[in-house]
Amino acid sequence: MTRPDPDTVAALLAAARADRDAFEARWQDAESELARVVSRRLRRNLGRVRSRSRRWLAETGQPRSAPSDKTPIAALPGQILVETMALEEPVRTGIARVLVNLSRAMSDLAPGRLVPVGLAEQHWRRATEHGEELALSRPAGHLPAAGAPVLLGVSITAPASLPDWEQAITAFRRDGGRYAQVVHDLLPEQLPDFFTSGLRTQFGEWLRIVLEQADVVLANSHSTLTDLQHYARQHGLDGPRRELVFHPGVSQDTVPAHRVACQHPVILAVGTVEPRKGYQVLADAAAEVWAQRPDVEFVVVGGPGWGHCDVGERLAALDRSDFPFRWLRHASDAELAAQYARAHVLVQASYGEGFGLPVVEASAAGVRVLARDIGVFREVLGQQGAFFSHDAALGERILEVLGSAEAVPAAAPPTWGEAATAILKTIDEISDPDTAT
């Protein structure tokens, strides 16, 4: 492997810092324009795409992805209506991954009780198009003889749907149903600079509705629950009526069966490429590391996300350069597992997370983790992780961790079966009129 020229590395580091300063200035300028344009234009363009897609499917005789029947569903006692709006997004997110894996695990434990539903104006309709993906098309098992039906919300409702969504939940609860909502994080409230003002406003309204309506809040970490309770107190809202903390499970498809020996150190970063994830900081740190260890390879696994333009351009430039850097934009679970198998260190530079699944996946694969020192990473990693507190310290901390000979045993990860068991138990309790509060 060619050793980079020290002057080139120094120039790259100086350019990286200048790029970061310029990015921060452009980000502030762009935020107000994005808040005004994005929501309206995105809704209009998505409507056009849906219309054209449906016309094409009708003309070619292909099966439609969405049913024409928008009849309100008549929920039965004991049924669990699983809201599927995250699967309708043009780009699948981590929330969609939670929805799919959790639904499959719950269906294994309670076959036939779960029914996929979508929002149709101000009511819920049966979303049969998602039944197979969520493994909800299997024969029905035993339905409880008594007990209210429960709506399980997993998505964060899009701004355009928020009024209809609130009305649909209100009507469902008025008819005797119960409502359980997964809360993934409070990042638009905690890190407002990474989100448009329009999204921040809509997210605050969404949280208000959840706190007012939900019979139980299902938080993906103690950190998320603590943040939600603090938000409620800060805004003069009642806290959740009932709470449950669960940790999302790790898919075995992303955990390698064995480690792969690599002759040079490999630094891995996993997650959507967007400003909040700290990839600018990682690129700065890579330049510092290469000045002392030019053999260190950096690999980023994650597709472009919202607001990724500048950081994405920088990663793409490194990917094209002679430096040992790769950006895998569309990796499958099997490809991600292969990168965990060869990685020496996973770096998580994100400024905020609700849970942080990659750190759990890496721990399960026996990969050392170097993460930003935030509460949720401390909660998830415990004593097994290494941490950094300041952006400028990341390069030095990477070199320190690489220089450590300490072995990291593979940790037993949480499973979706465990999460599904806890959530089903709570749903049954709020459904039972004798135990519901």
The pLDDT tens digits of the residues spanning 345-380 come to 999 999 999 999 999 999 999 999 999 999 999 999
* Token representation of residue 314: 């920088």
CATH number for 166? 3.40.50.2000
Indicate the pLDDT class of residue 141, thresholds 50, 70 and 90: low
In a domain, 408, yes or no: no
Tell whether 200 and 299 lie within a shared domain: no
In a domain, 145, yes or no: yes
Tell whether 325 and 391 lie within a shared domain: yes
Instruction: Sheet with 216-219: list strands edge to edge.
Output: 123-126, 114-120, 80-83, 150-153, 178-183, 216-219, 243-245
Indicate the pLDDT class of residue 57, thresholds 50, 70 and 90: very low
User: Which range has the worst mean pLDDT, 52-61, 146-155, 209-218, 417-426?
Assistant: 52-61
Tell whether 188 and 283 lie within a shared domain: no
Tell whether 271 and 348 lie within a shared domain: yes
* Token representation of residue 351: 């400024």
Cβ pair 147, 75 in contact under 8 A: no
Cα dist. 407→307, 348, 363, 402, 410 in Å? 37, 19, 12, 11, 10
Residues spanned by the domain of 394: 251-403
pLDDT of residue 333: 87
Task: Round to whole Å and give the CA distance between 38 and 308.
Answer: 15
Task: Check residues 306 and 225 and name the one with the higher pLDDT.
Answer: 225
Tell whether 329 and 191 lie within a shared domain: no
Tell whether 185 and 267 lie within a shared domain: no
In a domain, 60, yes or no: no
Tell whether 276 and 152 lie within a shared domain: no
Q: Is the pLDDT of residue 187 over 90?
A: yes
Tell whether 337 and 397 lie within a shared domain: yes
Count of domains forming the chain: 2
Tell whether 90 and 237 lie within a shared domain: yes
Q: Is the pLDDT of residue 41 over 60?
A: no
Tell whether 107 and 232 lie within a shared domain: yes
Tell me the average pLDDT of the chain: 83
Average pLDDT, integer, range 392-404: 95
Tell whether 255 and 399 lie within a shared domain: yes
pLDDT of residue 405: 63
Name the percent of the chain lying above pLDDT 70.
78
Task: Check residues 50 and 354 and name the one with the higher pLDDT.
Answer: 354
